A and B are shown apart, each in its own frame.
Chain A
Amino acid sequence: MDIFIQQLVNGITLGGMYALIALGYTLVYGILLMINFAHAEMFMVGAYVGLFSLKFFSDPEWGAATLGLEGMQQFFTGSIFGLIIMFAIVFIFSGIVTGLLGMLIERVAYRPLRNAPRLAPLISAIGVSIFLQNAVLLWVDSRAIAFPNVFPVVNFGYGINSLKIFIVVTSIILLIGLDTLVSKTKMGKAMRATSQDRGAAQLMGININKVIAATFFIGPALGAVAGIFHGMYYGAVIFNMGFFPGIKAFTAAVLGGIGNLRGAMLGGFMLGIIESMTAGFISTGYKDVVAFAILIIVLIFRPGGLLGESVVEKV
């Protein structure tokens, strides 16, 4: 039973990260019917921005201290209060930078192709993905970089620790926040309207470029948060770190029903838990096999995914 709870905790933590990344895929798909393959790189870039801003605030041999701002570093790393402020700054800064990068990519690589055949933006996305990976490879480092170990990890037994709680709680808050944004706010309604009928939305006075830009800000910003979690949780970042989590998160989005936000969240947590349980009770080698087998079974019975739109239409 102890082991079961521990594996569940492992799975939920992993699932929270998948869910955050999956939202980026599903948001873009919902609005543009496009699979943004560069989204995995948003996760990676977010992790790097987080890494360097965290180093700037906390590493005595790097960043702020070398500029004569040791006092600031001491404030941030010296107390719980300082740490909270530091992490808040790091997450928000990384989210904004990555979000802006997402908007830039949309503007440069996708918008010119919006009316092109659907394969064109897909190829463009793969191009962006390769470009970003290589940019980090060449300009930052080809090797894995250790993530600053400044988060105070306190163990509570059953494999539960303060970092896992932080990741899961923050993920859930962000998921609820996004759900509220989309279901309750003006921008969210505009996003839903745009995803359902872009032309009609425009004629109702909705600036779809703005809505799409917002989508390309929100998705990468959440991806960046997941990237920082990934760095904190596993202790390292590397230029190609986005690839597998990206594929898993995309799978989660499809499992839940691509285009459906709650589906992406559900899919993310499900996938994380399935992987952990399989690795924990069957075999590590089978975790992907089982995860994808479940995906295929779900798609056979519900082609639109668990909460997908085709299901809604049938109801």
Chain B
Amino acid sequence: MTSHLMEARGATIRFGGLTAVDNVDMYVDVGEIVALIGPNGAGKTTYFNMLTGIYKPTEGDILFNGASIVGKAPHVIARQGISRTFQNIRLFPALSAIENVMIGRHMRTKTGALGALFKTPPARKEEQQIQADAEKWLAFVGLSGVANELASSLPYGAQRRLEIARALATEPQLICLDEPAAGMNPQETAELNLLVGRIRDAGVTVFLIEHDMKVVMEIAERIYVLDFGKLIAQGTPREVQNNPAVIEAYLGLGADALMAKHLDEGGDDA
């Protein structure tokens, strides 16, 4: 059991009377691509926020590499190897693309403020390394050409990819992507699918929230389904696709057929 990369045990969070995430058990293993789906308001992003330390679970435990990360500050969890992107893009708008990625690199470096200010040789060398690493990750997501442009001036799809590059620059073991395909056109979505595969191939485990069933069915190896904070289904795309509880959660009673059609479309490509 403890060999999972990430494992939640009975994770629960309540806001006042509302139980946003209710007694959820789930795990992600090294090298997997796992998706978390569910209708709007199901608690998916809340779950990501617990995982990355923004919220502290009211009950239950979350283990990363076998050790509990509950109650740790977001930056500590980030340093332990969990990185993420956001549903609504949260780049540093007034920094250039490469500076955004360099921010991700910084926590992996040592030089203090004084060393950097006075440009000591080790500091200079490290700065060059940071620059090189950042360029590498920009190239990885296909943004080499816009390194010096302000993040806020990039097109939407590029911003999404830049956010992924920034997250990857922290050298995570687990990257959590919150609706990476949201707002993308089919061409961009197709490129994203390839990118996610390459991330996994680069040795980073991927955990993503996604609404686009086509994307989920195409790239996810396992799927968890949340509804009203509860885990209602899990399994391979095919298993989940045929789960009546999932269909009901998505479209309510009597809409089974529609849901099945929708899921089928996604599934066909897989």
Contact = CB atoms under 8 A, between A and B. Distances in A.
Q: Do chains A and B touch in the complex (CB under 8 A)?
A: yes
Nearest to A196: B92
A293 interface: no
B95 interface: yes
Given A186-B109, A199-B54, A204 B103 contact: yes
Interface residues of A, number: 26
Nearest to B99: A189
Interface stretch (B3-11, B12-20, B111-119, B237-245): B111-119
Nearest to B166: A204
Contacts of B99: 189
A189 B103 contact: yes
A203 B81 CA distance: 11
B78 A202 contact: yes
Tell me the interface secondary structure of chain A in the complex. helix
Interface stretch (B58-66, B83-91, B135-143, B255-263): B83-91
Given A190-B103, A203-B74, A177 B117 contact: yes
B113 A197 contact: no
B104 interface: yes
B90 A197 contact: yes
A184 B117 CA distance: 8
A206 B103 contact: yes
Contact of B113 (A181, A200, A206, A312): A181
Given A202-B74, A206-B75, 18 more contacts: A186-B111, A187-B112, A193-B103, A196-B92, A197-B90, A199-B90, A200-B92, A202-B53, A203-B52, A203-B74, A204-B104, A204-B106, A204-B166, A205-B78, A205-B106, A206-B103, A206-B106, A207-B73
Interface of B: 52-54, 73-75, 78-79, 83-84, 86, 90-95, 99, 102-104, 106-109, 111-113, 116-117, 166-167, 170
Interface of A: 177, 180-181, 184-187, 189-190, 192-193, 196-197, 199-208, 214, 309, 312
